Amino acid sequence: MIIVTGGAGFIGSNIVKGLNDSGREDILVVDNLESGQKFLNLVDCQIADYADKRSFIEGIRNGEFGNEVEAIFHLGACSDTMNYDGLYMMSNNYEYSKSLLHFCQQHAASYIYASSASVYGAGPVFREMPEYESPLNVYAYSKYLFDHYVRRMYDQRTAQIVGLRYFNVYGDREQHKGRMASVAYHFTHQYRESGHVNLFEGIDGYENGGQLRDFVSVEDVVSLNLYLLENPSCSGIFNVGTGHCQSFNDVAVATVNRCREEEGETSLSLAEMQSQGLLRYIDFPETLKGKYQSYTEADISALREAGYDRPFLTVEQGVSRYVGRLLEKLDG
């Protein structure tokens, strides 16, 4: 059996679908469906069972699960970087992760968990080493602390442990995330509703919309997770990004041009979109100043050295594909 926590969420549900596509249906999905709209992410998935997060944690601690568990993909966490409830964040992200780690070690099950690129803070070096880590909020700190917990017991592990530091993931099944959904998702809806998209003005020395992030498609995220399941000898903490940063302007251009393509219109350059008012720049929020990553770029050398050699989609490739699928649903 494979367990996917956060299995109704964004990355989790994509992993469930990826497991289905690889022939696996012996999947226990664990989540909290108090926000009921997430169930839509599982409608086209085949699973063996569903468990509420709270009863699942109790079951883990009471020994209700055993050696039948082959692997746990742990995506269950609060991912809202603007949630400053430290008590909740540490219980939900840190203690929960520890309980599952110890379960997997006890039962020799693979443990593939979601860390975050937010542990690096403002950077500018994004390499999986403690000296480059400086979280800017309690969400990032919860991920940072668990990675350090893993490092302390790593040499005594009895089964695969993999921490994946996700950079800016975008793609299908994120519609429930609200303001935490990707900019590609928001740009698509803004353009369809108003004929333009809004980006932040420049900050930290960057031009308007010029802040740089490592945007990675959830398609690539799923491929990596399935690879790790198939290669249980691979352990470690790895960055998950393309290894090449691109600007928010790049995402906006890819989004608008795919929308224009669907409407039978020609593609435009960044300058043309700016001059026509298709891209508009808004004030940078005061609440984000000093807490915002204006630049991220994953160093994926450790991932490559571990044997993962598949290419990653660029913004132009991945965003265009994703926006095309979004538009199909909106028009369906």
Please write the tens of the pLDDT for every residue from 105-126.
999 999 999 999 999 988 899 9
**Domain range annotation of the chain:** 2-170+217-242+299-312, 175-212+246-295+317-331
* Mean pLDDT of the 303-328 span: 98
Distance CA 197, CA 101 (A): 42
- The end-to-end CA distance of the chain, in Å, is 35
- The active-site residue, picked from 111, 139, 166, 170, is 139
Whether residue 289 lies in the annotated active site: no
Q: Is residue 177 annotated as a catalytic residue, yes or no? A: yes
pLDDT band for 305, please (50, 70, 90 cuts).
Answer: very high
pTM greater than the 0.85 cutoff: yes
The active-site residue out of 50, 132, 149, 177 is 177
User: Which CATH class name applies to 175-212+246-295+317-331?
Assistant: alpha beta
Q: What is the mean pLDDT of residues 79-103?
A: 77
State the CATH architecture for 2-170+217-242+299-312.
Answer: 3-Layer(aba) Sandwich (3.40)
List, for residues 12-48, the tens digit of each pLDDT value.
999 999 999 999 999 999 999 987 789 999 999 999 9
Cα separations (Å) of 215 from 86, 226, 314?
Answer: 27, 20, 8
* pLDDT tens per residue across span 172-195: 999 998 888 999 999 999 999 999
Please answer whether residues 52 and 28 qualify as being in contact, where contact means their C-beta atoms are separated by less than 8 angstroms. no
Cis check for the bond before 124: say yes or no (omega within 30 of 0): yes
| pLDDT computed for residue 273 by the predictor | 98
* Burial tier of 291 (Cβ tally within 10 Å: 0-12, 13-18, 19+): middle
Cβ atoms < 10 Å from Cβ of 324: 14
pLDDT, tens digit, for every residue of 144-164? Answer: 999 999 999 999 999 999 999
DSSP state of 243: S
Please state the rounded mean pLDDT for residues 197-221: 96
